[in-house]
Chain A
Amino acid sequence: MSGFIGDWHALAILFVAGVIPNQIWRMLGLWFGGGIDENSELLVWVRAVATAILAGIIAQIVVQPPGALASVPDWLRYGAVAAGFVVFMLARKSIFAGVIAGEIVMIAGKYWLG
């Protein structure tokens, strides 16, 4: 089983770096949720920061690509995201249409480049 789990150290790190810092907010919501107004100013700010962090992660994967994605030229990755976005908007904000269009542009472009 060691191949499946890998080392236990990595699993411990997952709990400290990923599980606990994530779950704490759900449990706080469960314990203290009753008295908070969903439209309060603080939550508007929290939502804006959370959205911007997510945007940063998206940008990181596209700008500093991991693994096999690094073999695709910069301009093609940016172009694929842009093409996907245009289709997403044209298809009345269909996530699925946008993803498929972006993928087609990138894979076709990379295939064409060889």
Chain B
Amino acid sequence: MALPPLDSPQWHTSFRAFLWGARSIGATVLTLVLFATYLGIGALAHDSGFSLGWTLASTAFVWAGPAQIIVITTLGSGATVLQSAIAVTVSAIRLFPMVVSVLPMMRTEQTKRRHLILVAHLTAVTLWVECFRFLPQVPRNRRIAFIHGLGCGLVTVCLIANTIGYMLAANLTPLFAAGMLMLTPLAFLFSTARNCRELADVIALVLGLLLFPLAAMLNSGVDILVSGVVAGTIAYGVHRARAGIVGARA
């Protein structure tokens, strides 16, 4: 699907721009990945004992796959609310730089901060990636409407996927139910691997995978935080050391 040219009358109203945004969910393979991920989250929530309404509320109001999985797995395995909240908030720090880098792409002189609240809410890794791809093809004064359309379209797809995953987990044979639960780690592993831009990201991913089983032996209730901070800091240290070597050579 191609978007209309920048000077097309299609961009004259915000409503049309919203519809073009919503239609653009059909133009990206990431929609399929999101669908699979949220199918898995629906199944995970079912098997962890949460209601369907709770699951849909978590998708609509949290709108961040990792945070949702942390809440479901930690609360489901008996962690306290505080432990879950800490793990969620650390995982969500990455949203800060995403929001910071996305908003300037759609700001105009007339834009007030409140116009950007929904865009900030909708910002997550998929939308963030798609902004860089789609927005250059959208006139600046219609970008907020376009992103509202794209974001609401993606949320709708995920709510449907949640419902299907939840229903299927309740009714599938154990074999296929296991397959649905496996969608989450696979989809997250590969989308994270794809997003690795620098050596620090690669090291953080690999060490994070390897250190978790060790941290889990501590049985601290915040094992994910322990392995995450340790692995992330080592990765950052390697990044610094490497920058130092390159800097010394230059």
Q: A51-B232, A56-B212, A98-B190 are in contact. Are A21 and B99 (CB under 8 A)?
A: no
Q: A18-B84, A38-B97 are in contact. Are A57 and B188 (CB under 8 A)?
A: yes
Write the chain A residue with the least CB distance to B61: A19
Within 8 A of B (CB), among A58-84: 58-69, 71-72, 77, 80-81, 84
Count: A-B pairs, CB below 8 Å = 330
Write the chain A residue with the least CB distance to B177: A68
How would you classify the secondary structure of chain B's contact residues: helix, strand, loop or mixed? helix
How would you classify the secondary structure of chain A's contact residues: helix, strand, loop or mixed? helix
CA distance A56 to B228 in the complex (A): 7
Judge whether B120 and A30 touch: CB under 8 Å: yes
Q: A6-B54, A25-B96 are in contact. Are A77 and B235 (CB under 8 A)?
A: no
Q: For the complex formed, measure the closest distance between the CB of B87 and the CB atoms of chain A, giving whole angstroms.
A: 7
Judge whether A103 and B186 touch: CB under 8 Å: yes
Judge whether A49 and B179 touch: CB under 8 Å: no
**Across-interface contacts of B175 in A (CB, < 8 A):** 107, 110-111
Within 8 A of A (CB), among B45-80: 46-48, 50-54, 57-58, 61-62, 64, 66-71, 73-77
Return the contact of A46 from the options B97, B208, B227 (Cβ within 8 A): B97
CA distance A93 to B189 in the complex (A): 11
Judge whether A17 and B93 touch: CB under 8 Å: no
- Interface positions of B (Cβ within 8 A of A): 29-30, 32-33, 36, 43-44, 46-48, 50-54, 57-58, 61-62, 64, 66-71, 73-77, 81, 84-101, 103, 113, 116-117, 120-121, 123, 169, 174-194, 196, 198, 200-201, 203-213, 215-216, 223-225, 227-233, 235-236, 239-240
- Interface positions of A (Cβ within 8 A of B): 1, 3-6, 10-11, 13-31, 33, 36, 38, 41, 43-69, 71-72, 77, 80-81, 84-85, 88, 93, 95-96, 98-99, 102-103, 106-107, 110-111
